[in-house]
Amino acid sequence: MSAISAAHVRAALHLVNDPKAGRALSTRLDHRNPLVFDTHELGRRPGALQRISRTVDAPVDLGIAEVVAVPVGAPVEIELRLESVMEGVLVTGTARASAEGECVRCLEPVELDVDADFQEMFSYPDSDDRGRSKAAADDEAEDDEDMIPLEDGMFDLEPVLRDAVVLALPMQPVCREDCAGLCSECGTNLNDNPDHHHDAVDARWAALQGLAGSLGTDEKDNMSGAEAGVDEKQEK
C-alpha cells in the first residue's frame, strides 16, 4: 500500500472543514503524550534522518464508529522515518494494530489486522512552502493546507494516525469472504446450517392453505364425506 498524505485523507473524508480554524483552537502539545514526537534531535540540516519505533495505546475513536475500530487502549505499533527537508520534517510511517467489529452478513464478531501507511509534512513555523524564511508581510498569509506546522519542534501524530487507520479499514467487514450470512426469513446463521431452507409456497394457494389450517378435524371429515358422496353419485 502506498503512503498516503493525511491532508488528502482529511479532504476526502470531509473530516476537516476549516484546517486553519482547527489549528487556531489547538492546545499546546504535551511532550508526555506518546503520540507527540520531538524533532530537535533530528536537526534542521536537509537530508538528516531519524527512525523511531514506539508502541502506544490506541486513542479513542481509532477506526470507523459502530463498524470496526481498534479498541481503546489496545497496543498500536508505530514505525516512523523522520527526514529533514527545506520546508520542515517529512514523516513517513506505518501503524500496525488489531481492530474489532461485526460481520455485516452474519453479525458475528470480527477481528482484523490493520496495517496502515501514512506520510505527512510538518513545516517549520518560520519557513514558507519553498523553505524560505517568511517576511513579516507574509505573517497573515493563508497557510498551506497540505502542511501542518511544528510546535516547539514537536508534532502530534494522532490525527494522521486516525486518518490512516480509517482508510485502511473496510467499510463493510466480513468474517470470511464466502460468509453466507443470515436467513432473510428467520435469521438462522447459514454458515452453521448450509442446508437450511424454507419451502416456497405459491401465493395463489396461500389463502386455501390458511383456510384448511383453520378448519377443525370434524369439519374436515364432514367435507371429506360430502366429497365421497358426490363421487358415488357421479359413478352411478
Against a cut of 0.75, is the pTM above it? no
What cell numbers appear for 96 in the block?
A: 500496525
Q: What is the DSSP string of the chain?
A: ----BHHHHHHHHT--S-HHHHHHTPPPP-TTSTTEEE-TTT-SSTT-EEEEEEEEE--TTEEETTTEEEPTT-EEEEEEEEEE-SSEEEEEEEEEEEEEEE-TTT--EEEEEEEEEEEEEEE-TTB-TTSPBPPGGGTTSPPPTT-EE-BTTEEE-HHHHHHHHHHHS-SS--SSTT---B-TTT--BTTT-TT-------HHHHHHHHHHHHS-HHHHHHHHHHHHHHHHHHH-
Question: What pLDDT is stored for residue 208 in this prediction?
Answer: 63
Closest CA to 108 of 196, 171, 197, 187: 187
In degrees, rounded to 5, the angle at the alpha carbon of residue 30 between the alpha carbons of residues 25 and 35 is 95
C-beta atoms surrounding 164 within 10 Å:
27
Question: What pLDDT is stored for residue 59 in this prediction?
Answer: 95
d(CA 116, CA 70): 12
Question: What pLDDT is stored for residue 201 in this prediction?
Answer: 63
- Name the phi and psi angles at 204, rounded to 5: -70, -25
First to last CA, the chain: 87
C-beta separation of 58 from 100 below 8 A? no
Question: What pLDDT is stored for residue 221 in this prediction?
Answer: 56
Question: What pLDDT is stored for residue 214 in this prediction?
Answer: 63
Question: What pLDDT is stored for residue 224 in this prediction?
Answer: 56
C-beta atoms surrounding 91 within 10 Å:
23
pLDDT digits (tens, 9 = 90+) for 65-116: 999 999 999 999 999 999 999 999 999 999 999 999 999 999 999 999 999 9
Question: What pLDDT is stored for residue 31 in this prediction?
Answer: 87
Question: What pLDDT is stored for residue 141 in this prediction?
Answer: 46
Question: What pLDDT is stored for residue 197 in this prediction?
Answer: 82
Where is 166: in which H helix or E strand? helix 158-168
Question: What pLDDT is stored for residue 114 in this prediction?
Answer: 96
Question: What pLDDT is stored for residue 194 in this prediction?
Answer: 83
The letter for the amino acid at 66 is E
Which ranges of the chain have pLDDT less than 50? 1-9, 11-26, 129-143
Question: What pLDDT is stored for residue 12 in this prediction?
Answer: 45
- Name the phi and psi angles at 12, rounded to 5: -65, -35
Query: For cell 514506539, what's the residue?
Result: 54
Question: What pLDDT is stored for residue 228 in this prediction?
Answer: 54
